[in-house]
């Protein structure tokens, strides 16, 4: 009898996703240590998958490592780090949006429109807005049909998510980049690569400037 096996996400993958979610939500403080045993106990799993997940985040430069005891910790956010991360985001995501304008399918445009309609609803909370925005971004970047570029973007978005999470409580509640996203969607529908790139970069740059202003307070 030949049956396709049911695939379950590994505990390492689950731990990786949960720690990521915690970083994005601002559940950890800058400089906070993340001991393997403590995280494993909080997640209710063994230490091995947690150790692997933390090692993966260290390898991606999302977490730093204490040079004395080897414990991963949440890095301190500096203006220099914000400048570097958002400069890279602007270049990479702008490039992806430009490619996407030339490659995007009608089905992907329909998906983006549906997400945009949900984002415009006044009833959504900040977490839902964040999730919908992330889904919107990934559809655009996948539409570029550049797998290496997508991999680089996803890596830098991990670090960007950490920064946003750590500064979440200080962010202005009325801040958003929906105007830039609306321009991006319009440019994609017209196949206007130059305007798609510009709208994307303007949104990234606006977020950078907001974060820097928060740090100055």
Cα torsion angle, 162, 163, 164, 169, sign? positive
CB distance 82 to 89 below 8 Å: no
Query: What is the structure's pLDDT at 6?
Result: 45
The tens digit of pLDDT for each residue in 11-56 reads 899 999 999 988 888 888 899 999 999 999 999 999 999 999 999 9
The tens digit of pLDDT for each residue in 90-133 reads 999 999 999 999 999 999 999 999 999 999 887 788 778 888 99
Whole-model pTM: value is: 0.86
The tens digit of pLDDT for each residue in 152-196 reads 999 999 899 899 888 887 888 888 899 999 999 999 999 999 999
Instruction: Between 129 and 80, name the one with better pLDDT.
Output: 80
Query: What is the structure's pLDDT at 184?
Result: 98
Domains and CATH numbers, the chain: 11-73 (1.10.10.10), 79-216 (1.20.120.530)
- Residues 68-76 have a mean pLDDT of 94
Query: What is the structure's pLDDT at 91?
Result: 98
At 2, the pLDDT band (50, 70, 90 cuts) reads: low
CB distance 200 to 93 below 8 Å: yes
Is the confidence at residue 66, as pLDDT, over 90? yes
Pull the structure tokens for residue 180.
Answer: 């830039």
Kindly state the greatest CA–CA separation across the chain: 66
């Amino acid at each position: 009898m030949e049956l396709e096996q049911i695939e379950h996400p590994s505990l390492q993958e689950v731990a990786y996703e949960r720690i990521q979610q915690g970083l994005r939500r601002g559940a950890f403080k800058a400089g906070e240590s993340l001991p393997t045993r403590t995280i494993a106990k909080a997640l209710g799993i063994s230490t091995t998958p947690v150790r692997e997940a933390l090692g993966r985040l260290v390898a991606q430069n999302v977490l730093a490592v204490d040079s004395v005891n080897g414990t991963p910790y949440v890095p301190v956010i500096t203006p220099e780090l914000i400048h570097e991360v958002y400069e890279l985001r602007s270049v990479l995501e702008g490039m992806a949006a430009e490619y996407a304008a030339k490659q995007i399918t009608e089905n992907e445009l329909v998906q983006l429109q549906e997400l945009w309609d949900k984002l415009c609803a006044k009833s959504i909370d900040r977490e839902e807005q964040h999730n919908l925005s992330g889904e919107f971004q990934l559809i655009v970047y996948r539409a570029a049909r550049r797998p290496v570029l997508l991999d680089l973007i996803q890596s830098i978005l991990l670090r960007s998510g950490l920064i946003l999470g750590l500064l979440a409580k200080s962010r202005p509640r009325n801040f958003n980049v929906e105007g830039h996203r609306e321009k991006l969607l319009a440019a994609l529908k017209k196949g206007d690569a130059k305007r798609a790139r510009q709208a994307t970069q303007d949104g990234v740059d606006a977020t950078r400037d907001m974060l820097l202003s928060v740090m100055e307070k």
